[in-house]
Homo-oligomer: A and B are copies of this chain.
Amino acid sequence: MTYDIAIVGGGPAGLAAALNACRRNLRTVVIGKEEFSSKLTQAHRIDNYPGLPSVTGEELARKLREHAESNGAVFVKDEIQSIYPEEDMFNLYGREHQLQAMAVILATGITLGAEIEGEADFVGRGVSYCATCDGMFFRQKPVAMVGYIREAEAEVAFLAEVCSHVYYLPLYKNPGPVDSRVTVIEGKPVAISGNGQVERFTTTAGIWEVSGVFIERAGRPAGQLIGNLAVDAEQFIVTDALQATNIPGIFAAGDCTGKPWQIARAVGQGQVAALSAAHYLDTLKKRQTV
């Protein structure tokens, strides 16, 4: 069968898109790599998804999925490798499945390669990728920030206000001035370690006792799924305010469209993408009837 809408990615953006697509009575499939978004389920606690205070990432992932599923969304566990357009339709090739849909919503998120030793082990237990989301959990505690990109400086300024001390490792050229409460470390990250929770951050310049390590990296988005898709200088998918990409019938939402990376933003964009896809399908059907 040909679905009305195929959604590539089962994170917050994809699940929110699925919900609205189903509310519009469209045959909707969500293709996700994992049962639940691993980035979401690893979050120990999420305090800024409006209306659901203090949920764990796993709870939120389950709620979003159940909400979409109870409205009729079909889930397929697979990783889409490429998408090829065919007259008024798209073929999606996964590792195991091949699917067809009239419209596609890309909600592939970003891939943050875990490269520091111990980083992957302590995600949600002291390692964080979002100072706004998690900074308050480290109030009056010492933390480190590893900044692969200049955007880390604004996060460091915020952490300096909240935490008892901030060690900052800038890993790009010509870092700017930082708050006087911040110790800038000229070295490379070596390992994150501790007993269940982050306790130590080892660098080539020394070992620091910290409760948290924040990491700010450029994401590696998946704009290369389909030929000629417009992406920006950082490889994020370019969309208009209605989440349409440069290819008619292809929409995008969430982290794969760029910063800021926020769950509620991804969810809102997912819903808008679904409405825009619904509108596109209406237009398509009208054209086919003529």
Contact = CB atoms under 8 A, between A and B. Distances in A.
A32 interface: no
Interface string A10-32: 00100110011001110000000
A154 interface: yes
Given A50-B64, A269-B268, A275 B262 contact: yes
A1 interface: no
Interface stretch (A121-129, A141-149, A156-164): A156-164
A181 interface: no
Given A23-B132, A154-B278, A264-B268, 15 more contacts: A16-B50, A20-B132, A23-B47, A24-B132, A25-B158, A25-B162, A51-B267, A53-B66, A132-B278, A241-B258, A264-B270, A265-B268, A265-B269, A265-B272, A268-B269
30 contacts: A15-B50, A16-B50, A16-B264, A19-B48, A19-B50, A20-B48, A23-B48, A23-B136, A49-B51, A50-B63, A50-B64, A50-B68, A50-B271, A51-B60, A51-B267, A52-B52, A53-B70, A154-B278, A154-B279, A158-B278, A158-B282, A241-B241, A241-B258, A242-B260, A262-B275, A264-B267, A265-B269, A265-B271, A267-B267, A268-B268
Interface of A: 12, 15-16, 19-20, 23-25, 47-53, 60, 63-64, 66-68, 70-71, 132-133, 135-136, 154, 157-158, 161-162, 241-242, 258, 260, 262, 264-272, 275, 278-279, 282
